[in-house]
Amino acid sequence: MLRWWSTPRIFKFFLLRLRLAATYQAVDRYTVLFWAGLVGILGGLSSVLFRRLLDLMAFVLSGRHGSIVEIFSGLPPWQRLATPIVGGLVAGGVLYFGGRWHSRRSSSTDFMEAVVLGEGTLSFRSSIVKILSATFSVTSGGSIGREGPMVQLSSLLASMVGRTRKWSVAQRRLILACGASAGIAAAYNAPIAGALFVAEIVVGSIAMETFGPLIFSSVLATQTVRFLADSDPLYVIPPFHLQSGLELFYYLALGLLAGLVAPWFLRALRGSEKLFTKTCLPAYLRLALGGLVVGVLALRYPEVCGNGYSVVTGILQEQWLWSSLVVLLLLKVTATSASFGSGAVGGVFTPTLFVGASVGYLFGHACEGLGLGGLPEPGALALTGMGMVLAATTHAPLMAIIMIFEMTLDYQLILPLMLGCVLAHFTALGFESGSIYSASLKRKGADYAQRQLALLKVGGLMKSDPARVRPDAPFNQIAKHFVLHTYQYLYVVNEQGIYLGAVGLQDIKQYLGNSFLDNLIVAQDLLTDGPPIIHYSASLEEALEKFSHYTGERLPVVSDGPSPRLLGSLGKTDLLLALAERVPAAEGQFADQTKKG
């Protein structure tokens, strides 16, 4: 009776497997795309469910349906004051007492830290605590965005996927970055901007090895949201048109203004954070104090509550008087600073868009008051102002340009938006080199150098426990390995684990279909030198040199010394990801040295 691997059906499957292997060498890359797509779908599902949870929580707390501003507008004064205080107290209590429940593992609680500085994993318990705290902050009127917990939740699901796979640190970081990009894309219905947000701000590279999976994840996340919820643009605006080339001068002036305003907005946020820290209050009292500031402001202006989405929509529809908007802008910045500085968990992405829309709208009315001619419409200036302030605060102008376009689907303003965003970015750099997210990436600066040193060696990137057999392994065992797995080489080691060589997938083709060879041929008979080996302590530059002369996807990693034991394997994709991460790090070190000099 023929063995299972030598039946005609299995034989045909094996030949197909050989043809696919010959055509597609980069099997690992397709695997990454599959998992990136799965993470994108999970991110989209989690975003839809989280939005419904927020709506339910808001109804439970207030007994009303609608946006946060609509809910607060209908509340009596005492509830406007009390709701943010109680919400801050509960949200802070969740952080305070949840901190005793958090995981003691070394995994991070911030997705940016986990992608750039950490091991590519998030602490499950700490993430749940942060998401739950953010739920109370957002639904009780905190002046903070809901995109923060949405991204945290999507990143947590991606981290859980990464934990189930035996991936290297670089691969876990990439899949976690895919989760973050899925969360941003789902929150703003902007797949390209979601991928660019993570690529520009978090990863610091738009190399295709990283950007491809990010796009894959973002698109599927967005499509999931559109299928389950809504496919309309985030902001519905009247059509705008560029009437003449002279209007570009106004957009350039607005870009300059946005570049001047953004650093002061960042300093207000950071200054508030330092001020609240000096109080030395526990988290629940600190967040309650921040809620008190929001509640007092909401007594007269309920529009300061929430992330500012409804107000931005009104600005784009030109429904606000400039005098009222000036006051609201100052109060909104104060409320956002209070929520952010007190430690409320949430995002500042949407509040930043509020500041940009207000600055653009007020700039248009100021120019009109001066009697200047050929002005763009105030709504158009508000729309481009959103992108300009976003570019100046994040130092990611490309992401800001695409974000505004995807949120509005208005192509007419792409040209002025591009000019203004670039000018705002470079203007802001002259006053504030750090972005709105810089603080998150500095929290683990001490550990960063150690992790970078580890990644400078092959041992920090290798994948352990590669497929291996003994020299006396029979042919049927070898064939079974190749049928069930996607690798191109099966490593051969002796009883002491010393690397002897490899059996290639292509090398066994001539023996297929001969059942009598089942136990006659062993691994020793098929042994070849295989791919070039690389030592555990070798540098990444040495590994890159090895791959430059080898077309395969993986290299066997062996121990140092005269008796090379097989320790693992190094993937080309992991190497390229690690090298891509080192480029922005080197640029940052160069910038620091330039400032010191």
- Among 193, 254, 234, residue whose Cα is nearest residue 417: 254
Same structural domain, 428 and 554: no
Q: State the alpha helices, DSSP H only, in 165-282.
A: 169-188, 191-197, 208-228, 247-278
* 292, amino acid identity: L
DSSP string, 444-501: THHHHHHHHHHHTBGGGTPEES--EE-TT-BHHHHHHHHHH---SEEEEE-TT-BEEE
For 514, the token pair is 């001969």
Q: How far apart are CA 164 and CA 182, in angstroms?
A: 19
CA angle (423 as vertex; 358, 590 as ends), nearest 5: 120
In a domain, 383, yes or no: yes
Which CATH number do you get for residue 126?
Answer: 1.10.3080.10
- Among 165, 58, 177, 70, residue whose Cα is nearest residue 114: 177
Percent of the chain past pLDDT 90, that is, above it, reads: 15
- Please compute the mean of the pLDDT values over residues 133-154 and round it to a whole number: 87
Domain count, the chain: 3
In a domain, 12, yes or no: no
SS (H, E, C) 382-424: HHHHHHHHHHHHHCCHHHHHHHHHHHHCCCCCHHHHHHHHHHH
For 51, the token pair is 């939005």
Choose the most confident range, by mean pLDDT, from 214-218, 468-472, 585-589.
Answer: 214-218
- Among 241, 186, 244, residue whose Cα is nearest residue 218: 186
pLDDT at 590: 35
Q: How confident is the model at residue 330 (pLDDT cuts 50, 70, 90)?
A: very high
Same structural domain, 35 and 173: yes
pLDDT at 141: 86
pLDDT at 488 over 90: no
Same structural domain, 402 and 462: no
In a domain, 199, yes or no: yes
pLDDT at 359: 93
Phi, psi dihedral angles at 490 (to 5 degrees): -115, 115
In a domain, 442, yes or no: no
Which is higher by pLDDT, 540 or 416? 416
Task: Tell me 318's DSSP state.
Answer: T
Tell how strand 468-469 and strand 489-493 pair up.
parallel
Backbone conformation region of residue 241, classed left if phi is above 0, alpha if psi is from -120 to 50, else beta = beta
Task: List, in sequence order, every residue forming a beta bridge with 145; answer none if it has no partner.
Answer: 347
The Cα-based distances of 154 to 38, 48, 52, 182 in angstroms read 11, 11, 15, 7
In a domain, 33, yes or no: yes
- Please compute the mean of the pLDDT values over residues 200-205 and round it to a whole number: 66
Task: List, in sequence order, every residue forming a beta bridge with 487; answer none if it has no partner.
Answer: none
Q: How confident is the model at residue 196 (pLDDT cuts 50, 70, 90)?
A: confident
**Which pLDDT tens digit goes with each residue over 18-46?**
555 544 444 556 777 888 889 999 999 99
Q: How far apart are CA 157 and CA 180, in angstroms?
A: 10
Task: List, in sequence order, every residue forming a beta bridge with 555; answer none if it has no partner.
Answer: 570
Q: How far apart are CA 596 and CA 434, in angstroms?
A: 16
pLDDT at 355 over 90: yes
Among residues 376, 402, 434, which one ends one of the domains?
434
Which is higher by pLDDT, 150 or 526? 150
Evaluated on CA atoms 442, 446, 449, 455, the torsion sign reads negative
Instruction: Find the domain containing 463 and state its range.
Output: 456-578
Q: How far apart are CA 107 and CA 452, in angstroms?
A: 16
**Which pLDDT tens digit goes with each residue over 291-317?**
999 999 999 889 888 888 888 888 888
pLDDT at 592 over 50: no
In a domain, 482, yes or no: yes
Q: Please, what is the angle between helix 475-484 and helix 8-23, to 10°?
A: 60
Among residues 231, 261, 282, which one ends one of the domains?
231
In a domain, 15, yes or no: no
Same structural domain, 407 and 495: no
Which CATH number do you get for residue 541?
Answer: 3.10.580.10
Strands (E), 33-103: none
Same structural domain, 176 and 254: no
For 180, the token pair is 């973050």
Long-range contacts formed by 261-264: CB under 8 A, 24+ apart: 261/355, 261/359, 261/389, 261/392, 262/389, 262/392, 262/393, 262/424, 262/428, 262/432, 263/392, 263/428, 263/431, 263/432
Q: Is 569 strand, coil or helix?
A: strand
Same structural domain, 269 and 412: yes
pLDDT at 591 over 70: no
Q: How confident is the model at residue 550 (pLDDT cuts 50, 70, 90)?
A: confident
Q: Tokens 């993470």 sit at which residue? A: 39
**Which pLDDT tens digit goes with each residue over 433-469?**
777 766 555 544 434 444 444 456 777 777 777 778 8
CA angle (111 as vertex; 208, 398 as ends), nearest 5: 45
Same structural domain, 106 and 166: yes
Task: Tell me 380's DSSP state.
Answer: H
Same structural domain, 497 and 419: no
pLDDT at 102: 52
Same structural domain, 205 and 317: no
Report whether 157 contacts 179 (CB < 8 A).
Answer: yes
Q: How confident is the model at residue 527 (pLDDT cuts 50, 70, 90)?
A: confident
Q: How far apart are CA 396 and CA 403, in angstroms?
A: 11
Q: How far apart are CA 114 and CA 176, in angstroms?
A: 8
First to last CA, the chain: 79
pLDDT at 480 over 90: no
Same structural domain, 533 and 430: no
Q: How confident is the model at residue 117 (pLDDT cuts 50, 70, 90)?
A: low
Same structural domain, 157 and 305: no
Same structural domain, 415 and 311: yes
In a domain, 556, yes or no: yes
